[in-house]
Amino acid sequence: MKELIERALDGAQRGGAEYADVRVVRREDETLTVKNGALEAATSNDSAGFGVRVLVNGAWGFSASAVLEPAEADRVAAEAIEIARASGRAQRTPVELDDTPPATDTYRTPYDEDPFAVSLDEKIRILLEADAAMARVEGVAIREGTMVAGRERKTFASLTGAWIEQEITEAGGGIEATAVNEVEMQQRSYPNSFGGQSVTGGFESVRALDLAGHAQEAAELAVALLDAPQCPSGEMDLVLDSTQVALQIHESCGHPTELDRVFGTEASFAGTSFLTTDRLNQLRYGSELVNIDADATARGGLGSFGYDDEGVPAQRVPLISAGILVGYLTSRETAPRIGRRSMGSARGWSWNSLPLIRMTNINLRPGDAGSLEDLIADTREGIFMSINKSWSIDDRRLNFQFGDQAGWLIRNGRRTQLVRNPTYTGITPQFWGSCDAICGPDEWTLWGLPNCGKGEPVQTGHVGHGAAPARFRNVKVGVGRW
Ligand SMILES: [Zn+2]
């Protein structure tokens, strides 16, 4: 592999590249699905290859191949050079990279139990145990359980002398019960609706989920939702569970702080952003309580790593500080345009994908509102919503509507009537501006979101969101005419 990398970099330099990097990546994925008491699917993927990225006269070229042979490195490097020269003819402003120093390092995800070393039988046993617990609840029509394992081994090297080897290990799992009657279909997932909880780490995190121990409660709630009254409409105080806060962060803070999106270079896929750079250090994004960091160093986060795919070390940087917009997710190309050095959020999904600005772990810091029960006790009238069901947000990331699996009315500080199909709408800065309480560190969970899509062709992103339950005042709830 050393020879392949050296030949690719030599070829790029001979071709006239002022900068070049090579990524050799092998990614393994395993997914297990158990449905209604039987193994529904067991898939595994193993993909390896390398990509060469070059900068010639300020224009990018990229090429990749699955043929991991030194001679192929010459061809791929030459092709990347050719592409850079072609795209240079259409380019107005030359790309300039920041001055991140080249690193030589290795990084390995810490874990106790290798998820790939756990037998298929053991994984299926755990899923079937949860399935059986759901099956004991009358009225559940579909029972599903999923388990995932992932491993990425990659070497990054650059013409400027970086050489970084990383091994990132991921594990995850979750369950879902679906209940149906003549008119309704209702679902309840555990522990979230992101396809389960995924982390960088080992199988110990899947065991800690105790899927079987939570299966009955999930199934009973799915059935109860069938007969629950519809969520009322009106303006009321809203308490969100940490999984819904996580998705709220993803859509209304993570995406709009992606600096390539802000500059409009990603407009084709998911729009632009209202967080324009003239608003940096000016815009009131949320209340004083709202502090949101991008933290690629968080242990266990699905968006954690040692270095990004430009060789920039993992960092923790504030995006929102006491409610004010103070930062962006950046790359080596975009950061200098706001006078900064990259905070390390450029990642490509595979060996054949160009790194884009991707979220790391975008985390809302915990507050001092105690436990979820404390927060509900502190709320006179309102509604508590739990586990996302649907979302939509406009392309500038301002106007949104979210729906959750379950809602409970809050009366005089107590969780009362269960309601189905709860939804809420808002405008990002007003919504975060109405945040007046965030639960404490004991309620804070770093959720993994394994299915963020970006780019054309679309790249998957593995990202994380740390959140605790939070309260928002006077939010438009329900399906009224808003
Ligand atoms: Zn996304």
Sorting pLDDT into bands at 50, 70 and 90, what band is 465?
very high
Whether the pLDDT of residue 303 is over 90: the answer is yes
**β-pair type (163-180, 185-190):** antiparallel
Sorting pLDDT into bands at 50, 70 and 90, what band is 91?
confident
Report the separation in Å between the CA atom of 346 and the middle of ligand 1, taken as the mean of its atom positions.
Answer: 15
Report the separation in Å between the CA atom of 245 and the middle of ligand 1, taken as the mean of its atom positions.
Answer: 14
Supply the DSSP string of 19-68, one letter for each residue. Answer: EEEEEEEEEEEEEEEEETTEEEEEEEEEEEEEEEEEEETTEEEEEEES--
Query: CB of 269 within 8 A of CB of 456?
Result: yes
Residue with tokens 């790939």: 116
Say whether 119 sits in a helix, a strand or coil.
Answer: coil
Report the separation in Å between the CA atom of 270 and the middle of ligand 1, taken as the mean of its atom positions.
Answer: 9
Give the max Cα distance, the chain. 73
Residue 426 CB partners (closer than 8 Å, separation 6+): 399, 400, 472, 475, 476
The pLDDT of residue 447 is 98
pLDDT per residue over 274-297, tens digit each? Answer: 999 999 999 999 999 999 999 999
Report the separation in Å between the CA atom of 102 and the middle of ligand 1, taken as the mean of its atom positions.
Answer: 29
Rounded Cα distance between 461 and 195, Å, is 14
Query: CB of 465 within 8 A of CB of 305?
Result: no
Report the separation in Å between the CA atom of 75 and the middle of ligand 1, taken as the mean of its atom positions.
Answer: 35
Over range 47-52, report the average pLDDT: 98
Q: Tell me the residue length of the chain.
A: 482
pLDDT per residue over 454-463, tens digit each? Answer: 988 899 999 9
Report the separation in Å between the CA atom of 181 and the middle of ligand 1, taken as the mean of its atom positions.
Answer: 33
Over range 164-192, report the average pLDDT: 97
The pLDDT of residue 264 is 86
Over range 355-380, report the average pLDDT: 98
Report the separation in Å between the CA atom of 196 and the middle of ligand 1, taken as the mean of its atom positions.
Answer: 16
DSSP class of residue 113?
A: S
Whether the pLDDT of residue 266 is over 70: the answer is no
**β-pair type (316-321, 292-295):** antiparallel
pLDDT per residue over 103-117, tens digit each? Answer: 999 999 999 999 999
The pLDDT of residue 90 is 84
Residue 448 CB partners (closer than 8 Å, separation 6+): 170, 172, 194, 197, 198, 199, 301, 302, 303, 462, 463, 464
Residue with tokens 């970099």: 9
Sorting pLDDT into bands at 50, 70 and 90, what band is 481?
very low
The pLDDT of residue 92 is 81
Report the separation in Å between the CA atom of 347 and the middle of ligand 1, taken as the mean of its atom positions.
Answer: 14
The pLDDT of residue 456 is 86
CA-based angle 119:123:128, to the nearest 5?
140
What burial letters (b/e) apply to 49-86, b meaning 16+ CB within 10 Å?
bbbbbbbbebbbbbbbbeeeeeebbbbbbbbbbebbbe
pTM for the model stands at 0.97
Report the separation in Å between the CA atom of 459 and the middle of ligand 1, taken as the mean of its atom positions.
Answer: 10
Report the separation in Å between the CA atom of 219 and the middle of ligand 1, taken as the mean of its atom positions.
Answer: 28
pLDDT per residue over 394-450, tens digit each? Answer: 989 999 999 999 999 999 999 999 999 999 999 999 999 999 999 999 999 999 999
Over range 18-37, report the average pLDDT: 98
DSSP class of residue 294?
A: E
Say whether 358 sits in a helix, a strand or coil.
Answer: coil
**Residue 354, exposed/middle/buried by CB under 10 A (0-12, 13-18, 19+)?**
middle
What is the SS3 assignment for 360-423? CEEEECCCCCCCHHHHHHCCCEEEEEEEEEEEEECCCCCEEEEEEEEEEEEECCEEEEEEECCE
Report the separation in Å between the CA atom of 108 and the middle of ligand 1, taken as the mean of its atom positions.
Answer: 25
Whether the pLDDT of residue 7 is over 70: the answer is yes
Which helix (H) or strand (E) segment holds residue 107: the answer is strand 104-108
CA-based angle 312:153:260, to the nearest 5?
40
Whether the pLDDT of residue 143 is over 70: the answer is yes
- Domains in the chain (CATH in brackets) are 2-227 (3.30.2290.10), 234-477 (no CATH)
Report the separation in Å between the CA atom of 261 and the middle of ligand 1, taken as the mean of its atom positions.
Answer: 12
**Residue 256 CA, distance from chain mean position:** 14
Query: CB of 344 within 8 A of CB of 296?
Result: yes
**Beta strands, E only, 220-343:** 234-240, 292-295, 316-321, 324-325
Residue with tokens 């790194």: 355
CA distance readout (Å), 134 to 54, 70, 128, 192, 212: 53, 53, 10, 16, 8
Whether the pLDDT of residue 482 is over 70: the answer is no
Report the separation in Å between the CA atom of 250 and the middle of ligand 1, taken as the mean of its atom positions.
Answer: 6
Report the separation in Å between the CA atom of 451 and the middle of ligand 1, taken as the mean of its atom positions.
Answer: 7
Rounded Cα distance between 425 and 475, Å, is 7
Rounded Cα distance between 287 and 321, Å, is 10
| Average confidence score pLDDT of the chain | 96
**Beta strands, E only, 256-398:** 292-295, 316-321, 324-325, 346-347, 356-357, 362-364, 381-393
pLDDT per residue over 212-259, tens digit each? Answer: 999 999 999 999 999 999 999 999 999 999 999 999 999 999 999 999
Report the separation in Å between the CA atom of 107 and the middle of ligand 1, taken as the mean of its atom positions.
Answer: 26
Whether the pLDDT of residue 270 is over 70: the answer is no
